Amino acid sequence: MLPLSRAGDGGAPALVALFTSTSAVCVTGLAVVDTPTYWSGFGQAVILGLIQVGGFGIMTLASLLGLLVSRRMGLRTRLTAAAETKSIGIGDVRAVLLGVAKVSLLFESVTAVGLTLRFLLGYDEPFGRAAYLGLFHAVSAFNNAGFALYTDNLMGFVTDPWICLPIAFAVIVGGLGFPVLFELRRHLARPDRWSLHTRLTVWTSAALLLLGTLFVSWSEWTNPGTLGPLDTPGRLLAGFFQSVMPRTAGFNSLDYGAMNSGTLLGTNVLMFIGGGSAGTAGGIKVTTFVLLFFVIIAEVRGEPTVHAFDRRIGDRVQRQALTVALLSVGAIVSAALLLLEITDFATDRILFEVVSAFATVGLSTGITADLPGSGQLVLVFLMFLGRLGPITLVSALALRERQRLYQLPEGRPLIG
């Protein structure tokens, strides 16, 4: 709110400052003002600092809560978990903090250097400006924030692979999660030695990226407002970029306000699923999604237990995944109904905005700034809930284990 943070006269209003700071520290990317023109260099530095603190904090928080959960397990379960999740083990807190810091610094630095060279050599930006642009977008990408220093986000670079691909790479890596990255560093060439968590995260993420690219490209191929004017390589690059960003970065190289309703609905699904656990991505997480998929497969086949990659999935994990998914749906539907009551926007636009906020994505059809103050406060609450809710909920469920000394008679209500 300081006048120093704003490019114009006076300080930012309280609601604008609250919305922007929440979006930054929750690494979402939604904005009610134009980031490059509304905020001064100092204000942009504050946003960048909040993104870095938020991303680092979420990765370490999720990883440390995983350690806490493993320490509260019984000895046999702990030994099994330690053998299965070699990425962290049951080690100390200091190793996790240093590991997350090193991983963040490495990938942010590599991405920043690549982007700086492109801005410097490809767009004739002065070195200082190019370095600033490279650093800002690299930090925003790795932390899945989606803040950009261009009014149209990254639409001006829609066909530039030297900008889009490094940013997409940083988004994917940041969204995989620290435990997966740590394990891939040790066993990248040996998929047979990957833990179940890493297998679920990597293969599901790869499948969603491929299917998302095919879906967006097919759905928008002839749309004159999005992919229509581009050549074939440009369409494929833009389709891939729009498949990566809902996982949950928030950058966009196409105008989501001009997309078809079907594309918006498919993007809602990708945003809701999100990325990997203990990473900078939001959503219910790919592991939650794929575990529920395996539950459905087992039920359809009539199998008494659920299996994934030669491992049996415990009943408690299944219930945790179901709880997270259903409570997330409840939060999204409740917020969407509330916004529909206080605004005149179409249902698909409101739903897209709500899912984007809850999944901490940051994509928008352009209605964020036009929402009333009460509507923006709803999004503030959703961003905070979506960023910390699933992590704390799963940890609480895992740590809250009670023994029942008796069993009630079984009931069989009609289903369906």
CA distance 198 to 139: 24
pLDDT in the model for residue 71: 54
Q: Give the three-class secondary structure for 201.
A: helix
Give yes or no for a contact between 283 and 273, defined as CB atoms under 8 angstroms apart. Answer: yes
User: CB neighbours of 77 closer than 8 A, spacing ≥ 6?
Assistant: none
Cα gap 209→206, rounded to integer Å: 5
Q: Round to the nearest angstrom and report the end-to-end CA distance of the chain.
A: 53
What CA–CA distances, in Å, run from 297 to 1, 15, 413?
52, 46, 21
H or E element at residue 385: helix 373-399
Decide if 137 contacts 167 (C-beta within 8 A): yes
pTM of the model: 0.88
pLDDT of residue 388: 80
Residue 306 bridge partners (DSSP): 313
Question: Tell me, what's the pLDDT at 75?
Answer: 43
Beta bridge partners of 39: 6
- Note the pLDDT of residue 178: 80
The answer to whether the beta carbons of residues 336 and 351 sit under 8 Å apart is yes
Residue in the structure block whose two tokens are 């905005």 = 353
Compute the C-alpha angle 267/271/277, nearest 5°: 150
Q: What is the pLDDT of residue 398?
A: 62
Cα 375 to Cα 338: distance, rounded to the nearest angstrom: 8
In angstroms, the CA 95 to CA 344 distance is: 51
Taking the C-alpha atoms of residue 266 and residue 243, their distance in angstroms, rounded to an integer, is 10
Q: Which residue has the tokens 């520290």?
A: 25
The type of residue at 374 is S
Tokens 């749309």 correspond to: 223
User: What residue spans define the domains of the chain?
Assistant: 3-399
What count of other Cβ atoms lies within 10 Å of the Cβ of residue 82? 15
Tell me which residues of the chain have a pLDDT lower than 70: 62-94, 391, 393-404
Gap between the Cα atoms of 366 and 363, Å rounded: 9
- Tell me which residue of 116, 134, 141 sits closest to 55, measured CA to CA: 141
Q: How many helices (H) and strands (E) does the chain have?
A: 15, 2
Q: d(Cα 31, Cα 20) in Å, to the nearest integer?
A: 6
* 333-339 LR contacts (CB < 8 Å, sep 24+): 335/378, 335/379, 335/381, 335/382, 338/378, 339/371, 339/375, 339/378
